[in-house]
Amino acid sequence: MSRILAKSIAVTVLALLASLAISFTFVPMLGGEVSGAGLVMTIVCPIAVALPASTLHYWQSERLRRANGALMAANDKLAEAYRQLHSQSRLDALTGVLNRHAFAQELQAVSEAAASGGLLFIDLDHFKSINDRFGHATGDEALRAIGQLLTGHVRATDIVGRLGGEEFGIFLHSVTAEHMLDRSHRIREAVRSLDFRTPAGAQVALGASIGAFHCRAGFDPSQALAAADGNLYRAKSTGRNTVIA
């Protein structure tokens, strides 16, 4: 409020000076004299008009400025909430990796960018027995642990998603077929070596079968997933805890 009053007083002083300048310039030219009631009106009128008018103007301007600031802040919060909601809608709530739909979108984008790489289809071995023996809560914790493990074994340019149940997918961006196989075996070994325990402290053995398929530039995502899935089926049929490409 003090800033509003200061501005209003400054405007009033300028209005008063302008009024005096006009009066002392033009009144003598017309043969009059600025004195008495005329001088009083020259001083009082700009004060009576300019002070309340400028105070009201600056007060309304300040209210508008604050309202605009509040609106911008609300818009920023809304935009951030939308970004978070959009991000959350792409993530699997349990594991924190991309959900199936978002993984498919990212895979399509990679294909359209004419990139190559390795596609891994990962399935946890005998996962149903974990739910049967230790309960679904332990099974969920195991899936969460696997999600974190897989995320830790990829680069920022790679893609990790949960494709459903105990199935995960990884796209290794711009790797050779040999590098894809090496990374696949390292991931399989990391899953096998994971020290996962129930809340009671019982150790739960985990394993993973991996179907790998090397994607050339311009690959068809659906065909690549089908090929990786076929290799996964072969991996599970030949003893599990293995990699087939």
Which of 62, 106, 112, 166 is an active site residue?
166
What letter represents residue 103's amino acid?
F
Backbone angles phi, psi at 42, to 5 degrees: -65, -30
Query: Would you say 168 and 161 are in contact if contact means Cβ atoms under 8 Å apart?
Result: yes
Query: Would you say 187 and 155 are in contact if contact means Cβ atoms under 8 Å apart?
Result: no
Return the structure tokens found at 97: 């990796």
What letter represents residue 147's amino acid?
G
Query: Would you say 188 and 242 are in contact if contact means Cβ atoms under 8 Å apart?
Result: yes
For 24, 39, 89, 170, the CA distances from 94, given in Å and listed in that order, are 83, 83, 12, 17
Active site residue 166: yes
What letter represents residue 125's amino acid?
D
Backbone angles phi, psi at 126, to 5 degrees: 50, 40
Other CB atoms within a 10 A radius of the CB of residue 99 amount to 19
Interatomic CA distance for residues 119 and 96, integer angstroms: 19
Q: Which residues of 150-180 are buried (b: 16+ CB within 10 A; e: fewer)?
A: beebbeeebbbbbbeebbbbbbbbebeeeeb
User: Which residues form the catalytic set?
Assistant: 166
